[in-house]
Chains A and B, each alone.
Chain A
Amino acid sequence: MAESECIIPEDRYYWIEKHVWARPLGDLVEVGITDPAQGLAGKMLVCRIKRAGRELKRGASAATLESGKWVGGVSTPLSGVIKEVNDVPEKDPEALNRDPYGAWLFRMAPSNWAEDAKELVTGSQGVQEYREKIAQDGIRCGH
């Protein structure tokens, strides 16, 4: 599968190194894992997300994932307080493989989204940078 087949929508903000995305939704910011993230991990077996009310600094672990042969955390790309948790990927972790941009993990009330967003990439430029990373690391998304 060619690396170009990874799906990278332009409307998200990406922390490329951590393979997470963020999307402002009114007063909240939605967070999830990217298509390359699910491609790297393989079929997801477990998704555990920190509970609503937790305050996290950018980079802190906000969720843990387990695929057949790997475990890892999901770093939050922004600081803030978790307001909503999506139970869809918790109940059906493979939703993260099928639809990583629909199966969001949590929504945060940001502490300072304007500042945190500067550390992320978005739009066509962001997608271009992410595609370069995908090519460099030989990531396959397995669609």
Chain B
Amino acid sequence: MRVVNLGTVSVPRSLAVFHAVAQEAAPSDEMTLVFARPAEAFVSVGYHQLASRELNVPYCRSHNIPIARRLVGGGAVLLDHNQVFWHLIMPGAHASVKDLYQALLPAPVAAYQRMGINAAIRPLNDIVVGSRKIGGTGAATIAHSLIFVGSLMYDFDRELMAHVLNVPSEKFRDKTVQAMRDYMTTMTEQLPQGVPSAEEAIDILSQEFANMLDTPAHYEDLRENEEEAAKQFAVQLFDPDFVFQNEGWTVPGTKITGDVYLYEGLYKAPTGLVRAIWREREGLIESAWLGGDFLIEPAQALQALQDAINQASLSVQDLPDFVERLFREGKVKGIAADDIVQAFLHRANLEEAAMAEGGTQRGA
């Protein structure tokens, strides 16, 4: 296995090189493990995402945060100097996606464990410490190569991530940051006594991949044809025509980790706008916030309703009966139980939510 450690490189190069190595590899070539650390922060969207919908583009532009589209799937991610990205390029490989993760995830998990972090695999492709994710991984096929990518997450700027994402409201942004605090962790948080240097961590992960794949690791530089291809990818992947191409596909909700999503729903009730922001884990509401500009009596009813939903571990489908019963028991007036439920049933897309933003205040 060839190991190419680029070290700290420019933003375009950090993303371009693994695409180039994959594209240039012949099916019979040996595997290559590429490491890169971007000098500055940037954002990359998944291959099929609509960048303008996923990202707060004005914020990124005003803060000089470049935007790229990668040839790997998944959601928008923030990449910066606090993460070391690794990319395993396997020419000619034909593994099923499920088998690929099952076969390869033990290497980064073992690397984290050697560093003293109690990492584990959470299927299909997350690396977790307890219930908190310390790194996602992804896969793609580029030319003749199957590629497996991930990062060593030294630290993560959750606030910046919440700002580069296109969220519908400031409240939603706060909730996004909170969800990332609850469900993500980093090497720095896990190793308060000190983290290994990037070089040490790269050596450890290279050894783990070499052991697992039963192939000795040897360090090499990029080849000339790979350098040429990398220059082209460095332009293409950041070209606004490519980044903002109309590949519109979105899933509702903001993905926090593999099974945790944040949603916002809006419903225009006769007495005002009802806004619900909630977090679902494995399809159950884990944390909900209710607000809007409607009237509700008694004044504490909304908080009581919110607390009850948070404690009940319900799916959205369970809500109608549950909210109806609480309204009946609490003698709630001013708004109908169904108006609250409808907010959960009307998951807004981000544009709709953003348009409704402004002038809405927390009810009661």
Q: Which residues of A contact B (CB under 8 A)?
A: 17, 39-42, 45-46, 48, 64, 66-73, 137-140
Contact = CB atoms under 8 A, between A and B. Distances in A.
Closest 3 CB pairs of A and B: A72-B141, A71-B73, A70-B97
Contacts of A17: 27
Interface residues of B, number: 26
- Interface hub of B72, B94, B139 (most chain A Cβ within 10 A): B94
B73 A39 contact: no
Contacts of B94: 40, 137, 139
Contacts of B251: 45
A70 B149 CA distance: 11
A69 B96 contact: no
A69 B97 contact: yes
Contacts, number: 65
A68 B97 CA distance: 9
Contact of B47 (A40, A64, A137): A64
A25 B98 CA distance: 35
Interface string B52-77: 00000000000000000001111000
B48 A66 contact: yes
B363 interface: no
A48 B247 contact: yes
A64 B251 CA distance: 17
B47 A71 contact: yes
B124 interface: yes
A41 B146 CA distance: 12
B140 A71 contact: yes
A71 B96 contact: no
Contacts of A48: 48, 247
Contacts of A41: 96-97
A39 B48 contact: no
B77 to A, nearest CB: 14
A42 B48 contact: no
A69 B150 CA distance: 12
Contact of A140 (B46, B74, B96, B140): B96
A16 to B, nearest CB: 10
Contacts of B71: 71
- Interface hub of B98, B99, B249 (most chain A Cβ within 10 A): B98
Contact of B98 (A42, A45, A137): A42
A33 B194 CA distance: 50
B96 A66 contact: no
Contacts of B74: 69
A96 B249 CA distance: 17
B272 interface: no
Given A46-B48, A66-B47, A139 B96 contact: yes
A46 B251 CA distance: 11
A64 B47 CA distance: 9
A44 B139 CA distance: 14
A83 B77 CA distance: 37
Interface in B87-125: 94-101, 124-125
A108 B124 CA distance: 37
Given A64-B48, A72-B141, A46 B95 contact: no
A69 B48 contact: no
- Interface hub of B47, B71, B99 (most chain A Cβ within 10 A): B47
A66 to B, nearest CB: 4
29 contacts: A39-B96, A40-B94, A40-B95, A40-B96, A40-B97, A41-B97, A42-B96, A42-B97, A42-B98, A45-B73, A45-B251, A46-B48, A46-B249, A48-B247, A64-B47, A66-B46, A66-B73, A68-B97, A68-B124, A69-B124, A70-B73, A70-B97, A70-B100, A71-B48, A71-B72, A71-B73, A71-B141, A137-B95, A140-B96
B138 interface: yes
Given A71-B72, A72-B141, A137-B95, 18 more contacts: A40-B96, A42-B98, A46-B73, A46-B249, A64-B47, A64-B48, A66-B47, A66-B249, A67-B97, A68-B97, A69-B97, A69-B125, A70-B100, A71-B46, A71-B71, A72-B140, A138-B99, A139-B94
